[in-house]
Structures are given as C-alpha cells and as structure tokens.
Homo-oligomer: A and B are copies of this chain.
Amino acid sequence: MKNKKYHHGDLRNSLIEAGIELINREGASKLSLRKVAALCGVSQAAPYSHFQSKDDLLDAMRDYVIEQFIAVLENSIQGCKEQDNPQLLIEMGKSYVMFFIKNPQYYPFVFSQQCMEVNLSLDGDDTGNFPPFQLFKMKAVPILSKLGMSKEKIEDAIISSWATVHGLASIATMKNVHYDKDWETKIEDIIRNK
C-alpha cells in the first residue's frame, strides 16, 4: 500500500459505498456522480473507468442495498423455529417493512427505477426476479399449500401479501407521515388484519 497512489486500489467498491453514504446523508435525489467521486478523492471522470454511466453506478448501488436487504430477510427466516408455519411469512413481512423504516432513504432509492424484473406468476422463470420477492414466493408456496389452498388462491395471496408489506414500507417511510404508535410493535397487528 502506497501513500500517494495514482491508482485508488478499490475504486469500484469505494464508489458504491460512497454513493450509499451520500444517499443516507441527503437522499437519492441530491446525489451526483461528481460528489461521489469527490468523496472517494478521485477526479470527476474516474468513475467512468468502472461504470458506463451514472445509472450504471446506481444499479450497482441498488444491488448492494438489495444484498443487505436479502440478508436481513434470510436472517428473519433463520430466526423461525418452524419453517412450515405461516408465522414465518409474518416475520418476513415485518423484516421487509422494518428494513426500510430503519433505512428510510433506501425505499425511494431501491424503487425509484421501477424497472426491476418482477414475475408475479407462480409458474415461469424466476431467474432475474426481484430477489426479495422471489425469496418470499419460494417460502410462501409450500406453507400456503400445506394450508390446502388452491394454486390460484396461493398466487393471489402471495401478491396480496407482498403488496401489503410493500405498501406499508412505502407509507411508513414517507417523510411527513404521522403515526403515534411504534411501528416495530404495531406492524404485526396491521399485517395480520388482512
């Protein structure tokens, strides 16, 4: 490791993390490529050695955040004793919402480009499917099947559940939302109320 280095060494990852840092500081709307480069101590054009465009960097940052998101969801799954109990789906839902409540800037960022692949159907190819939804689907199908639901009902239930949880995350992370109760303790009631 040299002190003054022409080459940064790990610029690609540094740009991703610096970008996420800036998003947490002042939101995705105020992020600029040049600020990210400056935060990494490189010139304005340096990012173009690692990303084709600003959107390309944003995509990589999104992947990075979604990886954290997936880790949180999987952690909540492993916290469940019974892998075939419907409660597992509730726990996933709670984690889904809480992830964005704990990182409010992430919601508008992750879903700003509304162009992620989403396959709602139970059939079809799940490669490239929005990973959090794919994970939820994968866990939900056997659990709901065991309850004796028809395939069509299962598909509807999965879409409905995801919509509820996703909508809750959207609402809870709005800047001027007023809610006197504590989300963490209240959220299960709200999901169950379905």
12 A-B interface contacts by CB (under 8 A): A114-B173, A114-B175, A116-B174, A118-B176, A121-B180, A156-B186, A156-B189, A159-B171, A160-B164, A164-B164, A167-B167, A170-B170
- Given A159-B190, A160-B190, residue A119 in contact with residue B165 (CB < 8 A): no
The verdict on A136 contacting chain B, using a C-beta distance below 8 Å, is no
* Pick from B107, B115, B180: contact of A176, CB under 8 Å: B115
The tally of residues in A whose CB lies under 8 Å from a CB in B reads 41
Q: Which residues of A contact B (CB under 8 A)?
A: 107-108, 111-112, 114-121, 124, 153, 156-157, 159-160, 162-168, 170-171, 173-180, 186, 189-191, 193-194
> Least Cβ distance of A128 to chain B in Å?
9
- On whether the beta carbons of A108 and B116 are closer than 8 Å, the reply is no
Chain B residues near A186: list those with CB within 8 A: 156
Q: Which of B108, B112, B163, B175 contacts A190 (CB 8 A)?
A: B163
Residue of B107, B163, B179 near A164 (CB, 8 A) is: B163
The listed residue (B108, B115, B179) touching A120 by CB distance below 8 A is: B179
Whether B115 pairs with A194 at a CB distance below 8 angstroms is no
- Nearest 4 CB-CB pairs, A to B? A167-B167, A163-B167, A166-B167, A194-B194
Whole-angstrom distance between the Cβ of A73 and the nearest chain B Cβ: 17
* Alpha-carbon distance A108/B29, docked complex (angstroms): 13
With contact pairs A118-B176, A178-B118, A189-B156 given, residues A111 and B170 touching in the complex (Cβ less than 8 Å) = yes
Decide: B164 and A171 in contact? CB cutoff 8 A: no
Q: How far is the CB of A83 from chain B (nearest CB, A)?
A: 23
The answer to whether B108 touches A171, judged by C-beta atoms less than 8 angstroms apart, is no
